């Protein structure tokens, strides 16, 4: 076989193989391009739908936001209200307790709430016995765990010569948080 013919045959074989390989590659590239194109357009259309959904949701949430604001406002105010109530002091309880322990022959002249831990109570007693009864009543009441009294101490006792009445001044110490409500409101 002439050498020229052999070379030509080899060349045509190479060309045939190259065209086959390139043909496969083009087919794969075509498939890849078509698939990418399809996926891209499919996703694009679903994106448009998603954006529409998102806008609708935003609109819907916005229309309901007023109630959320009101709920937050109520929560905020309830929190403050609970704190205010917890910190409130109830003086009627003390005035009522004093009335209970006051013997008939003792009159209150002055009640001064110096702080929330102690109260200065001044008064007039017809006798030393009545004054002693008052002190005793407060002391025995303080033993009751539900009582607001902690202890009582006399700071001044004076006998008025003209009237034979005894004026006194006492300091009543209160238990911790005694003026705070035992039950809320």
Q: What DSSP state is assigned to residue 175?
A: P
> Per rule CB under 8 A, is residue 78 in the interface with another protein?
yes
Window contacting another protein (CB under 8 A); options: 105-113, 125-133, 137-145, 167-175:
105-113
Helix then strand then coil, % of the chain, to nearest 5: 60, 20, 20
Complex with another protein: residue 110 or 143, whichever CB lies closer: 110
Closest to another protein by CB, 73 vs 151, is 73
The verdict on 7 binding another protein (CB under 8 A) reads: no
Structure tokens at 97: 């307790």
Measured from the CB of residue 121, what is the shortest distance to another protein in angstroms? 9
Q: Closest CB to another protein among 74 and 154?
A: 74
Strands 149-160 and 106-113: unpaired
β-strand partners of 150: none
Please name which of 155, 108, 151, 103 lies closest in space to residue 127, comparing C-alpha atoms: 103
Task: Map residue 125 onto helix, strand or coil.
Answer: strand
Q: Binding residue for another protein (CB under 8 A) from 7, 77, 100, 160?
A: 77
By C-beta, is 8 or 160 nearer to another protein? 8
């Amino acid at each position: 076989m002439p050498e020229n013919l052999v070379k030509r045959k080899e060349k045509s074989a190479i060309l045939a193989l190259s065209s086959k390989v390139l043909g496969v590659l083009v087919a794969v590239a075509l498939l890849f391009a078509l698939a990418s194109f399809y996926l891209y357009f499919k996703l694009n259309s679903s994106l448009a739908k998603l954006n529409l959904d998102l806008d609708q949701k935003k609109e819907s949430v916005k229309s309901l936001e007023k109630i959320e604001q009101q709920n937050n406002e109520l929560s905020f105010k309830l929190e403050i209200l609970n704190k205010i109530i917890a910190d409130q002091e109830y003086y009627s309880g003390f005035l009522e307790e004093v009335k209970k322990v006051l013997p008939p022959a003792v009159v209150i002249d002055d009640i001064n709430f110096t702080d929330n831990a102690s109260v200065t109570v001044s008064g007039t007693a017809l006798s030393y016995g009545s004054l002693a009864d008052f002190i005793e009543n407060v002391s025995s009441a303080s033993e009751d765990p539900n009582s607001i009294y902690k202890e009582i101490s006399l700071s001044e006792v004076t006998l008025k010569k003209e009237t034979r009445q005894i004026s006194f001044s006492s300091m009543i110490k209160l238990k911790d948080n005694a003026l705070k409500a035992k039950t809320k409101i």
